[in-house]
């Protein structure tokens, strides 16, 4: 189910019943104009980041759309993953969504101990100090599409104290 459905702010959404391509970019990312738009109407949306407000407005756009629509998400990995999770919750299938995440940029590391979502620009395999419980987390490659982030767990936990 769509977590939050808000009426779209006047003038921001495509017309009701839209079945074209919705191109969403976060930050300075740009969706290549040719991407996935073969003969389909396009609707462009730009957000600074995939924060609560941006996701609510994306969901509102998706609620107005109809089956046949395609979604393209471009930007930092954390933002693309968060938007992809919201789209999946709205009922979009993987084959309807194109993810164009930057190779580097912010990612979410979800703390297994206190459930804080930490944002970091480091990569998989590095260590991140949790903002919630100060545990030094091993940034693992386990990725949750629902959460849109990676699993972080206490690094060095198995080493002799």
| Contacting positions for other proteins (CB under 8 A) | 1, 17, 19, 40, 62-63, 65-70, 90-96
Please tell me what DSSP assigns to residue 2. -
The closest alpha carbon to 74, from 56, 97, 51, 57, belongs to 97
Contact 134, 94 (CB under 8 A): no
* CA neighbor of 152 nearest in space, from 137, 141, 130: 137
For the bound state, the minimum distance from the C-beta of residue 75 to other proteins, rounded and expressed in Å, comes to 21
Closest approach, Cβ 92 to other proteins, in A, equals 6
The residue (of 84 and 109) whose beta carbon lies closer to other proteins is 84
- Taking the least distance from each CB to other proteins, the nearer of 27 and 36 is 36
Cβ-based nearer residue to other proteins, 1 or 157 = 1
**In angstroms, what is the minimal distance from the CB of 21 to other proteins?**
10
Least gap, CB of 138 to other proteins (angstroms): 32
For residue 143, the cross-strand partners are: 150
Alpha-carbon distance values, 65 to 127, 132, 144, 150 (Å) = 41, 38, 26, 30
Between 7 and 66, name the residue whose CB sits nearer to other proteins: 66
CA distance 33 to 44: 10
User: Closest by alpha carbon to 152, among 55, 160, 161, 133?
Assistant: 133
Looking at the Cβ atoms of 63 and 127, the one nearer to other proteins is 63
Work out how close the CB of 20 gets to other proteins at its nearest, in angstroms, rounded to a whole number.
9
């Amino acid at each position: 189910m769509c977590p939050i459905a808000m009426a779209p702010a006047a003038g921001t959404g495509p017309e009701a019943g839209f079945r074209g391509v919705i191109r969403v970019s976060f930050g300075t990312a740009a969706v290549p104009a040719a991407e996935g738009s073969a003969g389909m109407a396009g609707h462009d949306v730009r957000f600074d980041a995939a924060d609560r407000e941006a996701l609510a407005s994306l969901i509102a756009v998706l609620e107005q759309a109809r089956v046949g629509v395609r979604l393209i998400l471009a930007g930092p990995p954390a933002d693309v993953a968060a938007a992809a999770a919201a789209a999946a919750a709205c009922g979009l299938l993987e084959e309807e969504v194109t993810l164009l995440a930057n190779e580097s940029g912010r990612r979410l590391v979800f703390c297994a101990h206190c459930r804080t979502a930490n944002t970091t620009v480091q990569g998989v395999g590095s260590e991140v100090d949790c903002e919630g419980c100060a545990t030094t987390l091993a940034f693992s490659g386990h990725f949750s599409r629902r959460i849109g982030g990676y699993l972080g767990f206490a690094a060095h936990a198995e080493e002799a104290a």
